[in-house]
Amino acid sequence: MAPHPSGATNPHRGARTLDRRLMSVAADSLEVTRRRSFAIWTLVLLVVLAGCVSVSDAGVESSGEMQSPTAPASPSTATTEPPPNGTLDVHFINVGQSVSTLIVSPANETVLIDSGDFTDDGEHVLQYLQRHDVERIDHFVVSHADADHIGGNAAIIEYYETEANGIGAIYDPGIAASTQTYAEYLDAVERHNVTLYETRDGDSLPVAGVDVQVLGPPDPYIEGEQRNENSLVLRFAFGNTSFLFTGDAEDDQEAYLVDTYGERLRSTVLKAGHHGSASSTSGALLDAVQPGVVVVSSAYESRYGHPSEATLHRLSNRSIPTYWTGTHGNVVLTSDGEQVTIQTQRDAPTDPLAIRESAPIAPGTVDPVEPRATITGRDMSATTPVAMDGGTTTKSGESLAVATINADAAGHDGENLNDEYVVFENTGDHALSLGGWQVADEAGHQYTFPEGTTLASGASVTLHTGSGTDTETDRYWGSAQPIWNNGGDTVIVTNADGEVVRRVTYP
């Protein structure tokens, strides 16, 4: 790929200066004020008074006045525009007990979120970028300053500023850490004069063709500037698909997100918070986001027990397919604006309670990724919330999940029957034979899957209410009128023996 150099003027607030952050690293016990300042002090005054300064030769935005964000403070959840051109590619890189995500826009702009752990100086991330011919990083996002997220920052800055085509800008929450890894990161920013922005809720990233909103941290910070709880939270929207990244946000910031944005958080894909820890990816957040897929980035034998059993049970209770870098390796998602294709290095279970049943895959493994599943993005604001009622009652149906219920078709329901649909997904690690299985609503309308219907592991099938030509991914009920009540109904699935294997009620 040949990334398009970003020439956009960034609309963000200015950052705290490098000098000031470095002082907090060198003297961790010193309480340094966090207030934004509109004055430009001399370097001498900075050293003497520990004030705020904008240093142009340090690579920090030096307008002399803090800029206000121009983007709306709430994410967009609906679109009436035609499907966008090109694809949005999201690479969850297998970096062990760490995280790093590469995003490539349709115009080949690149966004790198975090850089892996300090123990390998970002070696796996840098090698991955080089293997994928990433010549420039247009937007380098630092979710927060913990060493397992900024471990490769210095090395990546050094490489791209000296041997490649540079870094357009760096974005971070502005909270310092008293670690050598953090000091080396800031030294590299200063040495190569890279623009650094302090970034908060309400800002946006100027990525052409993609709506990138910053949803956190808030201003002022929460939890006494605790780094995890003030992670940068980003939502990427591309056509009818969207991706939510919450860094290491835990219960307090997740509560802030749910209270502030509610259903506007809805996204096709969610990266599990804090490597799948029990204190993140709460039930409230999952119910607000309603992801079609969750991706967890952590080591196979994490010393912290990531992903936690509590988190995996929350995902299982909502029948959310889960991909884990520890067993799936690199996870690459490609969106065309309507659907997201999922590719992984290993064909491992996606049932949250079975993901540890597969063998580990080491970070740095260069095996290619292969397609595993495709999910429909759709306009998440029009997707009916799903509430589980009952659920699995027989072994044969435990891997069949009701992934999406779209009861309210666009326009008049009776004139757009194929936009009323239910998406079923096989979350198990074996193919599921659906021949003779029936789908019914509370009124007793029934559809029967034809004999020979098989749903592969990780695959999904959409059952449309209207008429059409059946394919492996799309089936048609053939009804002349709507089936699913907009105000609430129940999807009841029975197997070929007449046993109820899945019952899902929506409001």
Strands 400-406 and 421-426, by their bridges, are antiparallel
Shared-domain flag, residues 148 and 259? yes
Shared-domain flag, residues 487 and 409? yes
The CATH number of residue 496's host domain is 2.60.40.1260
CA distance 106 to 89: 8
For residue 76, being part of any structural domain is answered with: no
Q: What pLDDT is attached to residue 230? A: 92
Domains in the chain, number? 2
For residue 463, being part of any structural domain is answered with: yes
CA distance 186 to 150: 11
- Structure tokens of 430? 């074996």
For residue 429, being part of any structural domain is answered with: yes
pLDDT tier, 10 (very low <50, low <70, confident <90, very high otherwise)? very low
Q: What pLDDT is attached to residue 240? A: 92
Give the mean pLDDT of 375-396: 45
For residue 171, being part of any structural domain is answered with: yes
Estimate the crossing angle of helix 18-26 against helix 180-192, to 10 degrees: 160
Higher per-residue pLDDT: 1 or 341? 341
Smallest Cα–Cα separation from 332: which of 427, 424, 243? 243
Q: What pLDDT is attached to residue 381? A: 37
For residue 25, being part of any structural domain is answered with: no
Of 343, 376, 409, the position where a domain reaches its end is 376
Smallest Cα–Cα separation from 433: which of 496, 478, 375? 496
State the sign of the Cα–Cα–Cα–Cα dihedral 363, 369, 374, 377. Answer: positive
Is pLDDT of 379 > 50? no
Beta carbons of 398 and 352 less than 8 angstroms apart: no
- DSSP class of 83: P
pLDDT tier, 346 (very low <50, low <70, confident <90, very high otherwise)? very high
Q: Tens of pLDDT along 221-249?
A: 998 899 989 999 999 999 999 999 999 88
Higher per-residue pLDDT: 242 or 428? 242
Estimate the crossing angle of helix 153-162 against helix 180-192, to 10 degrees: 20
Is pLDDT of 180 > 80? yes
Give the mean pLDDT of 466-489: 90
State the sign of the Cα–Cα–Cα–Cα dihedral 156, 158, 164, 168. Answer: positive
Give the mean pLDDT of 465-486: 92
Beta carbons of 302 and 319 less than 8 angstroms apart: no
Shared-domain flag, residues 341 and 458? no
452: alpha, beta or left, given left = phi > 0 and alpha = psi -120 to 50?
left
Q: What pLDDT is attached to residue 53? A: 30
CA distance 373 to 191: 44
Maximal C-alpha separation, the chain:
82
Is pLDDT of 29 > 80? no
Give the mean pLDDT of 1-18: 39
Shared-domain flag, residues 171 and 279? yes
- DSSP class of 99: -
238: alpha, beta or left, given left = phi > 0 and alpha = psi -120 to 50?
beta
Is pLDDT of 122 > 80? yes
Higher per-residue pLDDT: 456 or 6? 456
- Domain hosting 397: range is 384-506
CA distance 464 to 477: 6
Higher per-residue pLDDT: 81 or 401? 401
Q: Tens of pLDDT along 255-288?
A: 999 999 998 999 999 999 888 888 899 889 999 9
Shared-domain flag, residues 313 and 365? yes
CA distance 98 to 181: 14
pLDDT tier, 378 (very low <50, low <70, confident <90, very high otherwise)? low
Is pLDDT of 164 > 80? yes
Higher per-residue pLDDT: 109 or 120? 109
Is pLDDT of 448 > 60? yes
Is pLDDT of 460 > 60? yes
Query: Which pTM value belongs to this model?
Result: 0.65
Of 376, 403, 435, the position where a domain reaches its end is 376
For residue 18, being part of any structural domain is answered with: no
CA distance 22 to 27: 8
- DSSP class of 375: E
Shared-domain flag, residues 407 and 307? no
Shared-domain flag, residues 363 and 409? no
For residue 12, being part of any structural domain is answered with: no
Q: 322: which strand partners?
A: 294
Measured in degrees and rounded to the nearest 5, phi and psi for residue 462 equal: -105, 125
- Structure tokens of 29? 């016990």
Shared-domain flag, residues 428 and 362? no
Beta carbons of 462 and 475 less than 8 angstroms apart: yes
Beta carbons of 235 and 212 less than 8 angstroms apart: yes
Strands (E), 250-377: 269-271, 293-296, 322-324, 331-335, 339-344, 370-376
Shared-domain flag, residues 396 and 369? no
What is the residue whose two structure tokens read 């995003």? 103
Least confident of 51-55, 191-195, 230-234, 308-312: 51-55
Higher per-residue pLDDT: 456 or 506? 456
Position 60, amino acid:
V
Higher per-residue pLDDT: 26 or 156? 156
Shared-domain flag, residues 100 and 150? yes
Q: Please state, in angstroms and as integers, the Cα–Cα distance from residue 495 to each residue in 375, 463, 500, following that order.
A: 23, 16, 7
Beta carbons of 504 and 389 less than 8 angstroms apart: yes
- Structure tokens of 222? 């929460």
Q: What pLDDT is attached to residue 3? A: 34
Beta carbons of 387 and 507 less than 8 angstroms apart: yes
Shared-domain flag, residues 404 and 316? no
Q: What pLDDT is attached to residue 274? A: 83
Q: What pLDDT is attached to residue 340? A: 94
> In the predicted model, what is the mean pLDDT of the chain?
80
Strands 322-324 and 293-296, by their bridges, are parallel
Q: ω before 220 within 30° of 0 (cis)? A: yes
CA distance 218 to 233: 10
For residue 67, being part of any structural domain is answered with: no
The CATH number of residue 346's host domain is 3.60.15.10
Is pLDDT of 361 > 60? yes
Least confident of 28-42, 156-170, 398-412, 465-479: 28-42
CA distance 301 to 324: 12
- Structure tokens of 451? 């004999």
Q: What pLDDT is attached to residue 36? A: 30
Q: Does residue 101 sit in helix, strand or coil?
A: strand
Is pLDDT of 333 > 50? yes
Least confident of 79-83, 109-113, 215-219, 224-228: 79-83
Of 376, 396, 424, the position where a domain reaches its end is 376
Query: How many Cβ atoms from other residues are within 10 Å of residue 262's Cβ?
Result: 12
Shared-domain flag, residues 224 and 90? yes
Listed in sequence order, the residues at least 6 apart from 47 whose beta carbon sits closer than 8 Å to its beta carbon are 19
Beta carbons of 501 and 397 less than 8 angstroms apart: yes
Give the mean pLDDT of 173-199: 95
Q: What pLDDT is attached to residue 83? A: 62
Give the mean pLDDT of 137-146: 95
Is pLDDT of 78 > 50? no
Reported residue count of the chain is 507
